[in-house]
Structure 1
Amino acid sequence: MPHWIALTLATGLLTAPTPQPGRQGDFAEAAREYGVPVSVLLGVSYLQSRWDDHAGQPSVSGGYGPMHLVDGGAAVPEGHHHDGDPRGDDARPMHLPTTPQSPAGSAEVPEDTLGEAARVSGIGAGRLRRDPAANIRGGAALLASYRGRPGGAPADWYDAVVRYAGSRGFADEVFALMRAGAARRTDDGSLVRLAAAPGAVPPARPMRKAASPAECPTSLDCEWMPAAFRKFGKKKDYGNHDRLNRPRRVDYIVIHDTEGSYAGVPSMVGNPRYVSWHYTIRSRDGHVAQHVRNRDIAWHAGNWDINSRSIGIEHEGYLARGGTWYTEAMYRSSARLVKHLASVYKVPLDRAHIIGHDNVPGTTPSTVPGMHEDPGPYWDWARYFALMDAPLKPAGKGESIIIRPDFDEHREHYTGCSSKRPARACPSQGSASVWLRTAPREDAPLVDDIGKRVGKDSTYSVYDHSARASTGQRFAVAGREGEWTAIWYLGQRAWFHNPPSAPTAIPAAGPLVTPVKDRVRVYGRAYPEKSAYAGSRSRFQRHVPLNYVIRRGQSYSTGLTLTGTYHRADSIHPARHDTVKGRLRYHQIQLGHRVMFVRAEDVRLVR
């Protein structure tokens, strides 16, 4: 324990005020004990954990408790997130290396703040992990050790906050939060408040040496970490993205998780034989790295049509590693980035355009089972859209609904979080998805996805979204019975529990499509008709229907109508690329958990 802290405690220099109850009192007591302004302590904790303990589970970056004390010794093996063909182009298939590039050593590896906090506070590491009050004390002691002396105005603690998480961007966001204030009920039932302090302004700091070339809003801590773009192999193949010499249309922003730590990102994105994405966001502080220019096509979604019209954002994390949690700092940075990109590219802020990797359709029936499931049911879509100033709100009493459970209170049963015991139930925590059943009762079987699990029943695994609808997705109502609501889902009625006392959906308005013939085929790509290729250097891309059909009397929400295009990119030189534009029109529909496409001539649009 630092000498000045011990002396302060021994002499009673810090007098105790009237104790406050619950977690609010834990913050007040820790702030008094170590001479940290309580607003600073609350601000740092909120940006890490939203003042929650998460039942002692670590975050995706190994942080524990309300103060997100990182256990630097708990190394997590790197995953291999991008299996299959992330490029997703039949005309130029891509096969990944058998094993991913091993992550190189990186200065980005977080410090062992749990060990540091144990040293300066005298509290054992085990207790810091499992006892939220002790964790708050450990975080306060760590901040105090960085500052070097107690007391002072919040602005005097700015450099200590920078050191705590490792970036100025994090510290700036902490002070912005202190100015705005916050209040919420934490996972122990306590009501915690951070009073707004409009005067909480960080100290003036020298201007940065050079502006970052990254395409980010100025308010974000953002760096340029370029992806590899060079030839390799005897056939002069190249990777790991396609550059364009003109602006491109962007219809989607695709949300991924890395299934690995941020430390492994430089080596993976820097490997021309691997894959690429546009941005990565670090968990502990929300730091952003851009790898591919937004005008260029990254190989991230497994569907070339979606890749050519999207921006991909990876978030440091693991879909199912013990049901771990994402930090508030990550959510806020990501929301700010997506809001900025949506404004630049005129992308609507809704779940038809801001999609997860798990919402991207397969290209052909053979690719559907292998399409990815991230970011999974533990990504809080409702909070994410609220941070983008686009909250999910009820709209009218139309023939559709938006899935919208209360994330904190909605605790569904999942399995698959433990690789050693995949049948074991995942730790209980908030969820953004609802289970879909064949009948309006809890014991009814889950609906099946004939494309994802061919010939097999759906499961409760976090890796199986066959029978799940996710927050923000809009579906056409197919029936109501008691506390249950049915939606049209993958060509069938699918029921979910939607009690008035704890609703899991809200009424919505918006266009629907309904078939004009009995069997309407569904596609994973919106490609042009054959005649559009006449005079082009591109070979006709066949229209391969997926496993699903929709029938008369069914309805599906649509969020995008477009004309088919195909961009041929088989050369490192953008001038040799070719874009085919057709006349065949498609509607994007929310068919199941994934979006898909139907030909406009096969359906009737109902507004």
Structure 2
Amino acid sequence: MPMSLPRSAALIAAVALTTALATPAHADTAGQRQRDFTAAAKEFGVPENVLLGVSYLESRWDTNGGTPSTSAGYGPMHLTDVREAGVATTHHDEGTEDPRGDDARPALHPQAGPAAPPAGLQTVDEAAQLTGQPAETLRTDPAQNIRGGAALLAKYHNGRTGWYDAVAKYSGSTGDAAQAFADEVFETIRTGVARTTDDGQQVTLAAAPETTTPQRPGNPAGVECPRTVVCESVPAPYQELPNDDYGNHDLADRPASQKIDHIVIHDTEGYWDSVLKLAQDPTYVSWHYTIRSTDGLIAQHVPTKDVAWHAGNWYVNAKSVGIEHEGFAAKGTWYTEAMYRSSAKLVGYLARKYGIPLDRAHIIGHDNVPGTVPSTIKGMHWDPGPYWDWSHYFDLLGAPLGGFGLPGSSLVTIDPDFAKNQPAFTGCDSPGTPCAPRGSEAVVLHSEPSDASPLLKDIGLHTDGTPSTMDVADVGSRVATGQQYAVAEVRGDWTAIWYLGQKGWFHNPRGAKVAKPAIGWVVTPKPGLATVPVFGRAYPEPAAYPANVPVQAITPLPYTLSAGQKYSSAGTVGSEYYYAVTFAPADHVVVKGKLKYVQIQFGHRIAFVKADDVRIAPAF
């Protein structure tokens, strides 16, 4: 069923929308984007609300600093130019992470060829012919970009009675996926929306009576998806291979055998067609779903009852669902609204189905998954990266982040203004090169309350003891939107939190807060313990293993949680290990121990501590 906001959040949204609709659209220079939509709609004979609705589903009317989307689209109208955006890298090919993350099997380090972009990602040429503007202008000038989109819609309409088919064609898709895109556009027109764009433009799409009805049929039998999205089945092969090997996932019986605790958000680092071929390769790795950028189409590969090889940590894999999003963590790209909406609907459906809390301790990025042991930390992946808009994503989930605690709380939720928060990352295109200024969900931490002070040290990532860096892939001194941390100290406009055993400082001035007071639970070492070990997986005690299952080592990570420090708790979990190293599922065993762990937010990534080592207390 369609998701709805909590009553309080819905009321706030309704008031905000009503206020915005009551404000003259052209009151000041911040309304130039609105005037551009009006002018282009009139010039090409496109209803203004249709033009606004299409643009919102592509970009939310943003310019994104002239950088391409995850499917090579530019500007408010997402005119595609794959020649300029360039060829993608490949899925799971960077770093040394073993996607399966299980010591009981040889590590998997798959390689794939270059991910060629689809031929259809080149609408800027057609728009250039229709408008007389060069491709570069259409990519970089918002007004001309909107003209280009309007010209394409007018051409696709071609004198038809309604605009539904033209909107569907604009998605670049066909069939159910194109119709789903059109349905979402007209639903947006029906409800209306207003927002300030990433470059400060105030744009309003006034609510209008529904002008069309959904036209697409339901999803095929067997796929696990809500009825409000379009899904297809692209099965990953469960297949025997030579030398007693098999791929590319493990059969299981979740949640009867093991509770599903997490949903892991990934990006593909490759284009749709190439990535789906990898998902069907029995010698490769696997994940449960892939979501397409242009229209939000969802492909399911592995049943959610089974365990996919996606997160680089076997404990997390065995207790999670992995969702890949067509896109790139660092290549100057942004994620389309169509994909955000489709993904949020899928995650909401899965969270309800499996009782997964809608918070950032359970809806995590691949970059939040911990290394299993010290030697694997450096190779862990860091997608979907600092440009994934967690705040907007949780708004779509109906679970807004931040702002629920009292002033002075000892716990905070990281919640910067995405558009205004633009850390100076490097390495998006080449090592050391500054990334294009972009809105980000990431807040960088310093060792002292000063921007001039060094970043924190992450001895798991930087084993030589040097500080972390501003490289876009370096998560060693970075917190993310929605994550919660215990406050260690406040000095003026600077706040310190406990992070990897250190105080991490960030600028948090009144009137421009990047962290909000929170309510929750924190852990600290029990009295008498100077330090407690921190783990990347919650494995059972040795006595829990039956004779036919090798005991898995409980190996601490190279960090310390010391007396006096506090860390946000996501609750107590049981110890489990899923022994699955043979093709025949009859030989698989779920080992459950008496040992209990507490999941904590320890650094950028989650971690686990033994429940017997810590005291859990409320934070207000």
TM-score normalised over the length of structure 1 = 0.92
The whole-number CA distance in structure 2 between the counterparts of 1:279 and 1:504 is 32
Alignment coverage as a number of residue pairs: 576
Asked if 1:141 is matched to 2:177, the reply is no
1:339 is aligned to 348
The whole-number CA distance in structure 1 between the counterparts of 2:477 and 2:43 is 51
Partner letter of residue 158 of structure 1?
Y
The whole-number CA distance in structure 1 between the counterparts of 2:68 and 2:119 is 16
2:482 is aligned to 472
The whole-number CA distance in structure 2 between the counterparts of 1:72 and 1:500 is 43
**1:304 and 1:114, CA in 2 relative to 1: closer, same or farther beyond 3 A?**
same
Aligned pair partner of 2:439 in 430, 433, 447: 430
Asked if 1:554 is matched to 2:571, the reply is no
Partner letter of residue 168 of structure 2?
V
The whole-number CA distance in structure 2 between the counterparts of 1:27 and 1:303 is 47
Asked if 1:89 is matched to 2:97, the reply is no
The whole-number CA distance in structure 2 between the counterparts of 1:252 and 1:187 is 31
Counterpart secondary structure, 1:546: coil
Aligned pair partner of 1:528 in 535, 540, 547: 540
Deviation at 1:120, TM superposition (A): 2.6
Asked if 1:565 is matched to 2:576, the reply is yes
Deviation at 1:206, TM superposition (A): 6.8
Deviation at 1:437, TM superposition (A): 1.1
Aligned pair partner of 2:170 in 161, 164, 175: 164
The whole-number CA distance in structure 2 between the counterparts of 1:85 and 1:552 is 34
1:198 is aligned to 209
Contact kept in structure 1, 2:310 and 2:322, CA below 8 Å = yes
CA distances 1:57-92 after superposition (whole Å, capped 9, x unpaired): 111211011100111434413324255310000011
**1:425 and 1:523, CA in 2 relative to 1: closer, same or farther beyond 3 A?**
same
Deviation at 1:48, TM superposition (A): 0.5
1:541 is aligned to 552
Deviation at 1:480, TM superposition (A): 0.4
Deviation at 1:211, TM superposition (A): 2.4
2:596 is aligned to 585
2:6 is aligned to none
Counterpart secondary structure, 1:579: strand
The whole-number CA distance in structure 1 between the counterparts of 2:262 and 2:47 is 43
2:338 is aligned to 329
Q: How does 1:368-379 map to 2 (within 5 A)?
A: 368-379=377-388
Q: How does 1:176-191 map to 2 (within 5 A)?
A: 176-191=187-202
CA distances 1:83-116 after superposition (whole Å, capped 9, x unpaired): 531000001123224x31565x89x653421112
Contact kept in structure 2, 1:19 and 1:29, CA below 8 Å = no
The whole-number CA distance in structure 2 between the counterparts of 1:56 and 1:591 is 35
2:324 is aligned to 314
Deviation at 1:550, TM superposition (A): 0.7
1:41 is aligned to 51
Identify which range, 284-293 or 474-483, moves more after superposition.
284-293
**1:481 and 1:269, CA in 2 relative to 1: closer, same or farther beyond 3 A?**
same
**1:217 and 1:109, CA in 2 relative to 1: closer, same or farther beyond 3 A?**
farther
Aligned pair partner of 1:285 in 295, 304, 316: 295
The whole-number CA distance in structure 1 between the counterparts of 2:609 and 2:236 is 35
The whole-number CA distance in structure 2 between the counterparts of 1:532 and 1:125 is 64
Identify which range, 395-404 or 507-516, moves more after superposition.
395-404
CA distances 1:315-338 after superposition (whole Å, capped 9, x unpaired): 1111111x2211111111111111
Q: How does 1:199-598 map to 2 (within 5 A)?
A: 199-202=210-213, 205=215, 207=217, 211-233=220-242, 235-245=243-253, 247=255, 248-321=258-331, 323-397=332-406, 398-419=409-430, 422-455=431-464, 456-516=466-526, 517-533=529-545, 535-598=546-609
Counterpart secondary structure, 1:378: coil
The whole-number CA distance in structure 2 between the counterparts of 1:552 and 1:501 is 34
Deviation at 1:200, TM superposition (A): 2.9
Deviation at 1:236, TM superposition (A): 2.8
Counterpart secondary structure, 2:575: strand
Partner letter of residue 473 of structure 2?
Y
CA distances 1:357-390 after superposition (whole Å, capped 9, x unpaired): 1110111100011111111111111111011000
Deviation at 1:501, TM superposition (A): 1.8
Contact kept in structure 2, 1:54 and 1:187, CA below 8 Å = yes
CA distances 1:236-265 after superposition (whole Å, capped 9, x unpaired): 311010012453411000011111111211
Deviation at 1:536, TM superposition (A): 4.5
Partner letter of residue 516 of structure 2?
I
The whole-number CA distance in structure 2 between the counterparts of 1:37 and 1:463 is 43
Deviation at 1:214, TM superposition (A): 1.7
**1:160 and 1:605, CA in 2 relative to 1: closer, same or farther beyond 3 A?**
same
The whole-number CA distance in structure 1 between the counterparts of 2:136 and 2:500 is 48
Counterpart secondary structure, 1:522: coil
The whole-number CA distance in structure 1 between the counterparts of 2:594 and 2:324 is 34
2:22 is aligned to none
1:119 is aligned to 129
The whole-number CA distance in structure 1 between the counterparts of 2:189 and 2:211 is 6
Structure 2 gap segments, 5+ residues each? 1-24
TM-score normalised over the length of structure 2 = 0.90
Deviation at 1:19, TM superposition (A): 8.7
CA distances 1:463-493 after superposition (whole Å, capped 9, x unpaired): 0010101110000110100001111110111
Partner letter of residue 438 of structure 1?
S
Deviation at 1:542, TM superposition (A): 0.9
Structure 1 gap segments, 5+ residues each? 1-17
4+ residue runs of structure 1 moved beyond 3 angstroms? 18-21, 72-75, 108-111, 204-208, 245-248
Give me the CA root mean square deviation.
1.8
